[in-house]
Structure 1
Amino acid sequence: MQLTIERAALLKALGHVQSVVERRNTIPILSNVLLSTSRDALALSATDLDMEIIDETPGRVDQPGQITAPAHTLYEIVRKLPEGAEVELRYSGEDPRLTIAAGRSRFNLPVLPAGDFPVMSSDGLSSSLSIDTVDLMRLIDKTRFAISTEETRYYLNGLYLHTVVDGGVTKLRAVATDGHRLALAEMLAPEGAVGAPGVIVPRKTVQEARRLLEDAGETVELQVSAQKVRFAFGRAALTSKVIDGSFPDYVRVIPKDNTRILTVDNALFAQAVDRVATISAEKSRSVKMTVESGRIVLTVRNMEAGQAVEEIEVDYDGEPFEIGFNARYLLDVCGQIKGETAEFRFADPASPTLVLDPVDADVQYVLMPLRV
Structure 2
Amino acid sequence: MPSRYHHLSRAQLAVLVPELLLIGHLIDRAGMPFCLEAWGEDQMTQVAIEEWAGASPIYTRRMQRALAFEGDDVPTIFKGMQLDIGAPPQFMDFRYSVTDRWHGGFHLDHCGALLDVEPMGPGMVKNMCHDIEDPTFDATAVATNPRARMRPIHRPPRTPSDRQPHCAWTVDIEPDSPEVQPIPALAVNERSHAATLVLDGIDPAQDGLADYSGALVSDFDFGAFSHSALVRMADEVVLQNHLLNLSFHLAVRQRAADDDATFHRVVSRQLIGHAGVAAERLHKAMGLGDTPQDAAYLIELHPLMNPQPYTEFSRDGETVTVSRSLAHEDAGWLSLCTPDTPDALRSIVRAVNPYLDVEIAGTDTDWTARVVLTDTAARESGEVAVTKFSKGAAFQFEPRKSLPLFVK
* Same structural fold, with TM-score higher than 0.5 when normalized by the shorter chain: no
The TM-score normalised by the length of structure 1 is 0.23
Structure in which a larger fraction of residues adopt strand:
1
Structure with max Cα Rg: 1
